[in-house]
Structure 1
Amino acid sequence: MNLNLTTPQNETNENPNSPTTKTKSELFNLGQGSSVLYIPKLLVYEESWNHFHYFNKHIPWTRPTIKVFGRSLLQPRDTCYVASEGLPELVYSGYQPRAYSWDEFPPLKKLLDEVHQALPGSRFNSLLLNRYKGGNDYVGWHADDEKLYGPTPEIASVSFGCEREFLLKKRPKKTPQAKRLDGESPSKRVKKSKDPDQHTFMLKHGSLLVMRGYTQRDWLHSVPKRVKADSIRINLTFRLVL
């Protein structure tokens, strides 16, 4: 289902003193305890570009080798991991990233504060950054359902740069718990239908998308390859490690 075809419940940012722009947020109820909150303009335009240029230049990006279905391949995007001290180590697809400190990147700490102000009651202590250099970079169908995030993780995703599609589809009931499918690109476009089991969001520069409740248990998400996506996109996903 395309973003424009969904009927959301509109909300306003709860904190009027937040440094974010005063924009309406949109709450999408996916059913059975799953929901997505979308704020198209979390940050003002100039601040968003300042973040983009800093992250693109100063983050120690790496493109690791991962294992998918028993074979090794180069991850189709750059990545970096930041976490508070003392947290359990993150491992995905056979890869264990180095955990950098928040203090090493002051703009990340500032952005973390801004996300917390936009989402009262939320708390995040880790961050996975991804950089998509162009349309051939992607992330395959997966769910962020690692045990260290708990049964109902809240995942807050902030995007900068090139606008890219973010796809959601209902996980088939008979499949096992989600495996990361970075070697399997969601290249086919999701049809703009009224199918309640698939949704498409166009993530804008400076936007915030939050997955809540049982979204990681019941849904899969991806950012597919797109030929027309000819510039860099940087995405930051804030998580709470329990």
Structure 2
Amino acid sequence: MNLACEEAENPRPNMEETKRQIIDLGNGSEVVYIPRFLSSDESWNFFNYLNKEIPWTRPTIRVFGRSCLQPRDTCYVASPGLPELTYSGYKPHAYSWDDFPLLQDILEAVNKAFPDCSYNSLLLNRYKGGEDYVGWHADDEKLYGPTPEIASVSFGCDRDFLLKKKPSKAPKDKRVEDAPPTKRLKKNDQSNQQSFMLKHGSLLLMRGYTQRDWLHSVPKRVKAGTTRINLTFRRVVR
């Protein structure tokens, strides 16, 4: 996808694209999507800065007890004094906000849009093509508290972002198991799945009990031939 050409043909965002789209997932879970959170010009400036200046690394992680190379680049930034972040057996080095001044500009814009969040940490990811991805997971680490609000800002190539409800832990209903196939709840029931196309300069916020009750992923996409950089702002509870 030639994003530069696409932006040149549509230099000004449609007013509908600047509005917040609020999706109620039920049971206290909610997603807010702003397709044009940042302008095209400033988004490309941020993309070029992040792509060149961030000390990206592609770490080895553990998934289902096996070591593998993480299928995307990453970097971690956090305010001083916060507990260490650990995921999939990997402990990233925490850089300072002062190391990357332009990150503070993006943080300021996000905090202005969602003033109740007060973000103090940031996990950056870089997808260098369609083979880079993140599998199904929830950002439900204890250091984020019971109802984390995670804001995701995207730059570069458009990528699909998928949500699906976690399987119920309730005991199986024998009557449902014995019901004819046509009367069983379909696994791809639309109420249990959501999908978004995360565009260049967009922001997606997951809040409430989304991390408790839902999983999310950025799947492989063969046609995604260029780089996407994603910033996920989080609040670590001290």
What TM-score range do you get, normalising by the shorter chain?
0.7 to 0.9
Q: Distance in 2 between matches of 1:147 and 1:28?
A: 25
Structural RMSD (CA): 1.4
Report what 1:114 is aligned to: 109
Confirm or deny that 1:90 pairs with 2:85.
yes
SS class of match (1:196): helix
User: Are 1:136 and 2:144 an aligned pair?
Assistant: no
Q: Does 1:25 align with 2:9?
A: no
State which structure, 1 or 2, has the greater radius of gyration over its C-alpha atoms: 2
Show the counterpart of 2:35: 40
Give % identity: 72
Q: Distance in 2 between matches of 1:228 and 1:198?
A: 23
The equivalent of 1:63 in structure 2 is 58
Residues 16-46 of structure 1 deviation map (CA, whole Å, 9 limit, x = unaligned): xxxxxx9211100000000000000111110
C-alpha displacement of 1:89: 0.1
Structure 1 partner of 2:193: 198
Which shows bigger deviation, 166-175 or 37-46?
166-175
Supply the distance in 2 between the matched residues of 1:226 and 1:45 (Cα, whole angstroms). 23
Matches within 5 A, 1:173-188: 173-174=168-169
* Counterpart residue type for residue 107 of structure 1: L
Distance 2:109 2:65 in 1: 40
Residue 148 of structure 1 is matched in structure 2 by: 143
Write out per-residue CA displacement over residues 142-194 of structure 1, whole angstroms, 9 at most, x where no aligned residue.
0000000000000000000000000000000129xxxxxxxxxxxxxxxxx76
Q: Give deviations 1:28-75, integer Å, cap 9, x for gaps.
A: 000000000000011111000000000000000000000111110000
TM-score, normalization by structure 1? 0.83
Structure 1 segments (4+ residues) deviating >6 Å: none
Q: Equivalents in 2 of 1:120, 1:148: separation in Å?
A: 20
**Displacement of 1:223:** 0.1
What is the SS of the residue equivalent to 2:20? Answer: strand
Q: In 2, distance between residues paired with 1:227 and 1:159?
A: 19
Q: Hey, what does 1:232 align to over in structure 2?
A: 227
Q: Distance in 2 between matches of 1:104 and 1:135?
A: 30
Quote the offset at 1:120 in angstroms: 2.6
Compute the TM-score of the two structures, normalised by the length of structure 2. 0.84
Listed one character per residue, the Cα deviations across residues 85-123 of structure 1 (whole Å, up to 9, x for unaligned) are 000000000000000000000000110000011113221
For residue 80 of structure 1, give the secondary structure of its aligned residue in structure 2.
strand
Q: Which residue of 2 aligns with 1:6?
A: none
Task: Tell me how far 1:84 sits from its aligned partner.
Answer: 0.2
Q: Does 1:49 align with 2:51?
A: no
Cα distance in 1 between the residues matched to 2:22 and 2:201: 18
Secondary structure at 1:41 match in 2: coil
Aligned to 1:99: 94
- Give the letter for the 2:226 counterpart: S
Distance 1:81 1:122 in 2: 19
